[in-house]
Amino acid sequence: MILMKYLSRIPIIGIIRGADTGMVEGAAAAAFNGGFRTLEITLNRPEAYDQIAMLRAKYAGEMELGAGTVLDADSAAKAVAAGAEFIVTPALLPDVIEYCRGRSVPVFPGAMTPTEVLAAHRAGAEMVKVFPASSLGPGYIKSLKGPFPEIRLMPTGGVTVESISEYLRAGADGFGIGGELFRREWMERKEWGAIERKAGEYIQALKGAQ
């Protein structure tokens, strides 16, 4: 496994999805002030690569930045060139995993079924993103850990401040937090204080559960 300094200490990735650059800058600062040290910018907008580069320059050495919703190796290469330090996919995409492993870039492939989870692990996933986690809940993570205790799992999608402790007890190794933190209404109204407070609540919930 490739050691990510901040993620190994605070195993939460904040996911900023499809936001304009002004929103990304404000939301990233709010999450950082709230205690997040790992952020993912999804490639839903053409300017996402520039956003990654901007944040990498601003938070060099203070935050780990990655690209999400990466669908092919070319997009992964462009993201890494822009400064992405890790890659996240929504599904099991062997070409993206192969690209990342060949360049020692941590990769977090999305998977749901036991077959996909095992395939992602064997292909070289840093952690396997179990997505969408809310569809099956902590009990599913516990079930996966039965036959696969050595596979690191990162439930993503619908993980709340209240449910983090349940997921940890079930065996989760990390978390992807998107819309629960970067709520659409907060982003649109630029309510950065609300995001900062919620980020702090996630950090405290994680520490309390650990």
Give the count of beta carbons closer than 10 Å to the beta carbon of residue 158.
16
Of 40, 85, 126, 180, which is the active-site residue? 40
R_g of the chain computed on alpha carbons: 16
CA 160 to each of CA 42, 130, 163, 179: distance values in angstroms, whole numbers, following the listed order: 20, 15, 5, 10
The yes-or-no answer on residue 129 being catalytic is yes
Tell me how long the chain is. 210
The yes-or-no answer on residue 180 being catalytic is no
Cβ atoms of 164 and 209 closer than 8 Å: yes
Give bridge partners of residue 88 from the DSSP assignment. 108
| Euclidean distance between CA atoms 132 and 23, whole angstroms | 25
Name the percent of the chain in helix, strand, coil, to the closest 5: 50, 15, 40
Of 64, 85, 129, 196, which is the active-site residue? 129
Active-site positions? 40, 129
